[in-house]
Chain A
Amino acid sequence: NAGVTQTPKFRVLKTGQSMTLLCAQDMNHEYMYWYRQDPGMGLRLIHYSVGEGTTAKGEVPDGYNVSRLKKQNFLLGLESAAPSQTSVYFCASSYSFLWDIQYFGAGTRLSVL
């Protein structure tokens, strides 16, 4: 029972490089989310999706793009990584919006040098 799976678990990038973080869920959830967690901070929402083919901006969307081509996958892209994007990234999914429990992946630890 995989739940929410994030790949990769760790990554080191140089400034200016690009990468894509993959999130996959096997619970048939409609809603998916990308958060970042920084030291001493709570989780902050980057982007979210309310269904296949739809995405929306969250609290801190600058420097990131997302795509939801398939219901089970939610991709987070960094086109030109910056040191300020060094963080732990969490993906989550839920059956419904707001009032439902969000299930989280184990996170991706990203360092941008």
Chain B
Amino acid sequence: DQQVKQNSPSLSVQEGRISILNCDYTNSMFDYFLWYKKYPAEGPTFLISISSIKDKNEDGRFTVFLNKSAKHLSLHIVPSQPGDSAVYFCAASADSGYALNFGKGTSLLVTP
């Protein structure tokens, strides 16, 4: 049963505009959330994370927002660049658990 859901398989955004990638989770025990970025033929690479004690974390063009009551997080990329075109995975973990739970990923295409 998928505990981390990324309901949009793909997203297309123009260069310079904002990209918003969404992620929902069902397990209320999750307390740490991460976003990974994956290019074709490469492994995922860590992008940004947020713990449940925060509602926002920012790193350059990337900001992650967490809404615990809605069990929802989002990744904002501003401004979007063609090099941001990749698959983005949302992942979550619980202190009582043993692993990262990954969503299915959202493929982002940033067009010039």
Contact = CB atoms under 8 A, between A and B. Distances in A.
A101 interface: yes
A104 interface: yes
B41 A106 contact: yes
A40 B9 CA distance: 8
Interface in B40-89: 41-46, 49, 89
Given A4-B43, A103-B46, A42 B32 contact: no
Nearest to A59: B99
B45 A104 contact: yes
Interface residues of B, number: 27
Chain A contact residues: over half helix, strand or loop, or mixed? Answer: loop
A48 B98 contact: yes
B100 A45 contact: yes
Chain B contact residues: over half helix, strand or loop, or mixed? Answer: loop
Contacts of B100: 43, 45, 98, 102
Interface in B4-21: 4, 6, 9
B112 interface: no
A19 interface: no
A81 to B, nearest CB: 22
B99 A105 contact: no
Contact of A98 (B2, B32, B41): B32
Given A101-B46, A105-B43, A42 B89 contact: yes
Interface of B: 2, 4, 6, 9, 32, 34, 36, 41-46, 49, 89, 93-95, 97-105
Interface of A: 4, 33, 40-45, 48, 56, 58-59, 90, 92, 97-99, 101-107
